[in-house]
């Protein structure tokens, strides 16, 4: 970095649009300062300084001088010197990245205290207990965060001291003498762990704290959070140095977190926690159970009134729900932080709807605020109503994150990961969680804590990740040193089943049944559910998304039930109907095997005749469910050996039967005479391929066994004719898979179109039948212009296209994907989100060249990416006509498609 780079900004120099440089916290502190809210003075060290520090292994040139200059200005403004022995200035050193990462990086409070300044603080505050409480907190935080000492070393000693005052003692029960002794004990821990004395020079303290916050950007929990939430590593964190205000200054002091609306339900009512005689980290850490925010009005009515005024100012200014941290110091209110608040998916829709009704934002602004990736959370399970009515909760806590969860109890994050890895559904139970528990929290079905409030670490993370959570369930007694807890004498150990309801805070010591949530019931037509505000919001915004979007949304559906479900969710056709599922079942497998083993054309034809009516019946129901909408049927794709027993299993079974002299072979519950099993083994060996995914499958199968595809086409067209004769309006599209050359598709069409025309002629029906192909091989994308000359449509099979472009197996990538994402070898799982530089470029090239060769060509996507919001946006950008996805992701795709269109319109108007 050049020496003239400005690394430090006073709060008065910034604004909320400078998040890239000042981080979210610094930019918002500057914004609150500029609009006149009471904010403690301070300055922000930029993200550029962080990146330069991390890149160079130390402070960049010019940074120490800028920090000294701004610290001097802060001292002058406050009329105090940092760490002065008579009247000390104390500061907090707080992290603040562009995107909120709650609890993932580090903060140090009360910096500037030492053995001299603590006496000055006691004199100036006229409160010796407060001064020593602040000093012990500083040594504890500095020791953990800056010096890297295990938190348990400090917390264990604190618990021992509290225990001396009784089993139910709180930190507020400790006397000034207790806290002085505790501070000395903490300094002794520092001496034991570092072989050095606790630093007494305030400037050294500040330098080390700034470095620790910079380095926390690359801490394990920060990296894990960024990976989970797709936040780039290249942003860095800013550091905010802020004059301390104290919520732990006795009566009339406290600290809290406030939301301008309820982040769980979205209702327009104040929501949050308040803790008397405490500092900010106490609310998050859950050291004491908090008060509900409205209870502040009973304690300090004037501070509550000013807080509500400030909340209203911030919500109107940001035009969104705000999350606010505040401190009251002896009756004086200070705003320490604000940001646009995180909220549940449920609350997100309710808030957006209400804000439009209030005239705070426009309908399109509201729509663009919705997160389509979280839409499925609106359909989260709830406890079945009959059980909810009959079962009595064992205890209750705070409804920290909505939704019900059932699982086996585990008591540590590592245990959650281990049990979940074995396929178990787990609920993580803790006194409270810390950022170090994050890896286990995201593997849990639910989270239950015995302490903490609705803004504790557990609650914030659970809401952000969409995990049901109950916090502050103080009826739970966790047993020290044992993986168990008890409620009113009932003991629950590791592995026992419990149920939690994050919507109302109930805890049940049994395995209850879950049912569809209200929004799912509303989709199914339930009248009461359709009266809820969230349903009204859902209807309004989905209608606007449908109006705005250009992309059509189809579904991948293989059965009539799936097709009906998809249509109820707003699907506009079927983009992929996989016929291989229609070959399963005893009667069908027998016919397929007859076809495989046929020694003559006549025998093979008899097999097709047996399969034809079975296939036709499947298609009739699908055409009926999708009447008037397109149905794209993919002809058989997988290799034939998938309809036969596994080679190794069969060979072993035959060998064992021969060794034992038996006359029967059993392979995976299928019983065969030994001679038949030997013959079957021979055919399986003949069909065995070293790499079947690149072997005899797709169009190659149709070429080798032309009667197979002809039978399928006849079944499809006959079913369509049946539907037409019943007064329906079938729309037929036939897709030939795995095409790599123009000639493959041309020759297949030459063979199959006569079969379709013959059926139509026989039935006297005029019905268009389109033929197209999946683009799922890199070569097909490269020669798409040629293939388009003989195609009516392309559908991108992005699952196989990703496999063949990367050379990854989607079945095996899990073995190394974590390492690839951790080392940033891939930006994200390419089987979840389209790889735009590689796979995406192939798609864009194929779309452009295909349309150039055939202007009437229809383009779609039918891989799993069709339900991924980022991939839907990309499909809009390259001009596809539709996406097709799982029926359960149809709403997600509709919303994402609407947002893509509106976002493009807004960019064009700028």
The residues assigned a catalytic role are 457, 862
Q: Are 575 and 632 in contact (CB under 8 A)?
A: yes
Structure-token pair, residue 653: 């079974």
Partnered with residue 88 across adjacent β-strands are 81
The rounded distance, in Å, linking the Cα atoms of 310 and 304 is 10
Q: Which residues contact 278 (CB under 8 A, 6 or more apart)?
A: 247, 248, 254, 255, 287, 288
The rounded distance, in Å, linking the Cα atoms of 273 and 283 is 7
Cα three-residue angle 351-353-355, rounded to 5 degrees: 65
Neighbour count for residue 735 (Cβ, 10 Å): 27
Place of tokens 């452009």: 848
Q: Provide DSSP, 526-561.
A: -HHHHTSHHHHHHHHHHHHHHHH--SEEEEE--SHH
| Exposure on the CB side of residue 226, measured as CA atoms within 13 A | 24
Q: Is 640 left (phi over 0), alpha (psi -120 to 50) or beta?
A: alpha
Task: Provide the total of helices (H) and of strands (E) in the chain, helices listed first.
Answer: 36, 35
Nearest to 894 by CA among 519, 541, 535: 541
The rounded distance, in Å, linking the Cα atoms of 797 and 777 is 9
The rounded distance, in Å, linking the Cα atoms of 689 and 491 is 56
Structure-token pair, residue 174: 């400790």
Q: Is 248 left (phi over 0), alpha (psi -120 to 50) or beta?
A: alpha
Radius of gyration for the alpha carbons in the chain, expressed in angstroms and rounded: 33
Q: Are 179 and 147 in contact (CB under 8 A)?
A: no
Q: Are 24 and 98 in contact (CB under 8 A)?
A: yes
Query: Using the 8-state DSSP alphabet, how is residue 707 labeled?
Result: H
Q: Which residues contact 910 (CB under 8 A, 6 or more apart)?
A: none
The rounded distance, in Å, linking the Cα atoms of 681 and 675 is 10
| DSSP 3-state of 335 | strand
The rounded distance, in Å, linking the Cα atoms of 517 and 769 is 40
Structure-token pair, residue 723: 């539907």
Q: Is 883 left (phi over 0), alpha (psi -120 to 50) or beta?
A: beta
Neighbour count for residue 533 (Cβ, 10 Å): 14
Segments in 598-673 forming alpha helices (H): 601-625, 647-660
Q: List phi, psi (to 5°) of 303.
A: -65, -40
Q: Which residues contact 648 (CB under 8 A, 6 or more apart)?
A: none
| Strands (DSSP E) found in 437-546 | 446-449, 469-471, 477-478, 484-487, 490-493, 497-501, 506-508, 514-515
Structure-token pair, residue 87: 């009247």
The rounded distance, in Å, linking the Cα atoms of 471 and 505 is 8
Burial class (CB in 10 A: 0-12, 13-18, 19+), 871: buried
Tell me how far CA of residue 149 lies from CA of 22, 135, 294, 361, 373, in angstroms.
Answer: 29, 17, 38, 48, 39
Structure-token pair, residue 198: 């606790």
Q: Are 438 and 224 in contact (CB under 8 A)?
A: yes
Structure-token pair, residue 576: 């992929």
């Amino acid at each position: 970095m050049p020496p003239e780079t400005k690394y430090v900004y006073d709060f008065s120099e910034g604004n909320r649009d400078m998040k890239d440089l000042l981080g979210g916290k610094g930019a918002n502190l500057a914004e609150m300062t500029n609009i006149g809210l009471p904010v403690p003075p301070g300055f922000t060290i930029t993200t550029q300084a962080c990146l330069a520090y991390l890149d160079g292994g130390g402070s960049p040139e010019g940074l120490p001088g800028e920090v000294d200059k701004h610290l001097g200005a802060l001292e002058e403004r406050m009329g105090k010197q940092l760490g002065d022995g008579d009247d000390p200035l104390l500061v907090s050193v707080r992290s603040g990245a562009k995107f909120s990462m709650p609890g993932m990086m580090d903060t140090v409070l009360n910096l500037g205290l030492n053995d001299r300044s603590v006496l000055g603080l006691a004199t100036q505050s006229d409160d010796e207990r407060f001064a020593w409480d602040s000093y012990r907190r500083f040594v504890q935080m500095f020791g953990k965060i800056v010096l890297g000492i295990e938190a348990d070393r400090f917390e264990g000693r604190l618990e021992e001291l509290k225990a001396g005052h009784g089993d139910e003692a709180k930190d507020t029960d400790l006397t000034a003498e207790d806290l002085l002794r505790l501070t000395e004990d903490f300094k002794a821990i520092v001496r034991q762990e570092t072989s050095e004395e606790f630093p007494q020079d305030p400037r050294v303290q500040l330098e080390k704290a700034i470095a620790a916050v910079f380095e926390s950007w690359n801490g394990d929990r920060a990296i894990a959070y960024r990976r989970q939430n797709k936040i780039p590593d290249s942003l860095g964190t800013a550091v905010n140095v802020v004059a301390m205000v104290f919520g732990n200054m006795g009566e009339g002091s406290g600290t809290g977190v406030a939301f301008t609306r309820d982040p769980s339900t979205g209702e327009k009512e104040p929501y949050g926690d308040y803790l008397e005689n405490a500092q900010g980290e106490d609310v998050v850490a859950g050291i004491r159970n908090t008060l509900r925010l409205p209870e502040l009005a009973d304690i300090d009515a004037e501070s509550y009134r000013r807080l509500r005024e400030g909340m209203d100012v911030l919500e109107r200014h940001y035009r969104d729900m705000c999350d606010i941290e505040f401190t009251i110091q002896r009756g004086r209110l200070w705003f320490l932080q604000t940001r646009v608040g995180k909220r549940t998916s449920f609350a997100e829709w309710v808030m957006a709807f209400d804000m439009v009704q209030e005239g705070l934002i426009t309908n399109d602004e509201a729509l663009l605020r919705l997160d389509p990736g979280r839409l499925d959370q609106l359909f989260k399970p709830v406890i079945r109503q009959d059980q909810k009515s009959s079962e009595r909760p064992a205890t209750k806590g705070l409804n920290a994150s909505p939704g019900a969860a059932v699982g086996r109890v585990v008591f540590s994050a590592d245990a959650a990961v281990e049990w979940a890895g074995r396929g178990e559904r787990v609920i993580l139970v803790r006194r409270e969680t810390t950022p170090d528990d994050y890896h286990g929290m995201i593997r849990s079905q639910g989270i239950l804590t015995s302490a903490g409030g609705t803004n504790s670490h557990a609650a914030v993370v659970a809401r952000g990740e969409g995990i049901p959570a109950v916090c502050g369930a103080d009826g739970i007694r966790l047993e020290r040193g044992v993986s168990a807890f008890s409620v009113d004498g009932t003991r629950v150990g590791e592995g026992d089943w419990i149920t939690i309801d994050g919507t109302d805070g109930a805890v049940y010591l049994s395995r209850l049944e879950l049912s569809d949530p209200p929004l799912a019931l509303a989709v199914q037509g339930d009248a009461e559910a359709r009266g809820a505000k969230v349903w009204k919001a859902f209807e309004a915004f989905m209608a606007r998304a449908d109006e705005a979007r250009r992309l059509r949304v189809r579904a991948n559906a293989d059965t009539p039930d799936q097709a009906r479900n998809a249509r109820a969710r707003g699907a506009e056709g079927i983009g992929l109907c996989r016929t291989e599922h229609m070959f399963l079942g005893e009667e069908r497998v027998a016919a397929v095997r007859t076809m495989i083993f046929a020694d003559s054309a006549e025998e093979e034809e008899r097999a097709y005749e047996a399969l034809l009516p079975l296939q036709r019946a499947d298609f009739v129901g699908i055409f009926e469910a999708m009447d008037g909408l397109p149905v794209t049927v993919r002809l058989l794709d997988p290799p034939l050996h998938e309809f036969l027993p596994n080679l190794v299993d069969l060979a072993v079974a035959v060998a064992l039967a021969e060794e034992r002299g038996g006359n029967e072979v059993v392979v995976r519950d299928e019983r065969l005479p030994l001679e038949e099993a030997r013959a079957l083994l021979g055919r399986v060996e003949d069909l065995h391929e070293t790499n079947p995914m690149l072997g005899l499958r797709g169009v190659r199968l149709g070429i080798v066994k032309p009667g197979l595809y002809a039978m399928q086409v006849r079944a499809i067209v006959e079913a369509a004719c049946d539907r037409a004769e019943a007064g329906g309006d079938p729309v037929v599209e036939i897709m030939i898979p795995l095409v790599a050359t123009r000639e493959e598709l041309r020759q297949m069409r030459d063979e199959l179109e006569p079969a379709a025309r013959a059926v139509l002629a026989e039935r006297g029906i005029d019905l268009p039948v389109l033929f197209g192909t999946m683009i799922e091989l890199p070569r097909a994308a490269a020669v798409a212009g040629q293939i388009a000359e003989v195609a009516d449509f392309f559908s991108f099979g992005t699952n196989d296209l990703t496999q063949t472009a990367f050379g990854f197996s989607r079945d095996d990538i899990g073995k190394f994907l974590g390492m690839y994402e951790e080392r940033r070898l891939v930006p994200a799982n390419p089987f979840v989100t389209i790889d735009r530089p590689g796979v995406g470029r192939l798609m864009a090239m194929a779309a452009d060249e295909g349309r150039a060769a055939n202007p009437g060509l229809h383009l779609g996507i039918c891989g799993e990416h069709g339900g991924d919001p980022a991939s839907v946006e990309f499909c809009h950008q390259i001009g596809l006509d539709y996406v097709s996805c799982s029926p359960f992701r149809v709403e997600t795709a509709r919303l994402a498609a609407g947002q893509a269109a509106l976002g493009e319109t807004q960019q064009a108007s700028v």
